[in-house]
Amino acid sequence: MGTAGSGRAALRGAEPGRSDHPAVWLFAAAALISLVVLVAMAPQLTFVLDDWDFLQFRVDPSWDAVMQPHNEHISIAPVLIYEALLHTFGMDSSTPFRVVAMFAFLAGVVLVFAIVRRRVGDWLALAATLPLLFFGAGAEDLLFPFQIGYFGSLAFGLAALLALERDDRLGDRLACLALIASLTFSSVGLPFLVGAAVCIGWDRRRWRRAFVVAVPAVLYLLWWAGWGHEAHQSR
C-alpha cells in the first residue's frame, strides 16, 4: 500500500502547491516562448474578418452599439476593448489588439494549469497545457484579435470555477463577478454558468450560494431580452 501511494505521489508531484516545482518552471518557460512567438508574428498581420465589425460598425460609443450581438454572441467586453485600443493606438497596426488577445489566451492557459494541477499534480498539468500553448494546425486562431471574445470568456469562466473551490463567501463573490465578466465577452460563458450551477447544486448550502449564478443569469437574460434575441439581424 505504501509503495503504491508513493508511486502515485511521484506521478502527481509530491507537493502540487509548490511554486518552485520543476513542472511549474517548465510551464512558465513554455508560456513565455508561446507569447514571444505569437508577438513576433503579429507585425506581419493586419485586421481581418470579424475585426472590421468592431472597427467600422461599433465606433459609435452609444449604448446600443455596445450591446448589439456579434452573430449570436454577446460582445460587450470585446467592443469596449476595441474602442479603448482604437482611441489609444489607432488602426496603423493590429499588434496592440493582438497582444491584448494573446494575454487573455495565456491567462486562460494559466488557469487550466492551476485547476488541473490541483487534481492530478504538476507533471500531468504540464502535459495537459503544453498542447494548448502550441496549438498546431489551429494556431491561426491565436493570431486573430477578435478571438478575445472567446479567450476572455474562457479565462473568466475558469477563474469562476477556481474561485468556487475556495468554498467560502469571498470565493463565491469572486466567482459571481468572474461569471458576469465571462458572459460579457461571449456566449461561451454560458457553459461555465451551467458548470457553476452544478457545483453549487451539490452543496447543502445551495440556496445561500445561489446568487453566484442567479445574478449573472439575470443580467444575461436582460441582455437577451433587449438585444440578444435579434442576433440573426446583426452584421
13 found inside a domain: no
The CB-based long-range contact list for 164-169 (8 Å cut-off, 24+ gap) reads 164/196, 164/199, 164/200, 164/212, 165/118
The count of domains in the chain is 1
12 found inside a domain: no
- The pLDDT assigned to 135 comes to 76
CB contact burial 16-43 (16+ within 10 A = b; e otherwise): beeeebebbeebeebbeebbeebeeebe
70 found inside a domain: yes
Three cell numbers written together for 214? 442567479
- Domain, as residue range, for 215: 18-228
Q: Tell me the C-alpha to C-alpha distance, in Å, between residue 135 and each of 38, 131, 141, 145.
A: 11, 6, 9, 16
**154, 190 Cβ separation under 8 angstroms:** no
**Amino acid (1-letter code) at residue 217:** A
Give 45-91 pLDDT, tens digit per residue. 777 777 777 777 666 667 777 888 888 888 889 989 988 888 888 88
Give 106-155 pLDDT, tens digit per residue. 999 999 999 999 989 999 999 999 998 887 667 777 778 888 999 999 99
124 found inside a domain: yes
86 found inside a domain: yes
Q: What is the mean pLDDT of the chain?
A: 83
Phi, psi for 136 (deg, rounded to 5): 60, -130
Read off the pTM: 0.83
Rounded Cα–Cα distance for residues 202 and 116 (Å) = 21
212 found inside a domain: yes
Give 8-40 pLDDT, tens digit per residue. 444 444 445 566 689 999 999 999 998 888 888
6 found inside a domain: no
110 found inside a domain: yes
**213, 190 Cβ separation under 8 angstroms:** no
Give 157-182 pLDDT, tens digit per residue. 999 999 999 888 999 999 999 999 99
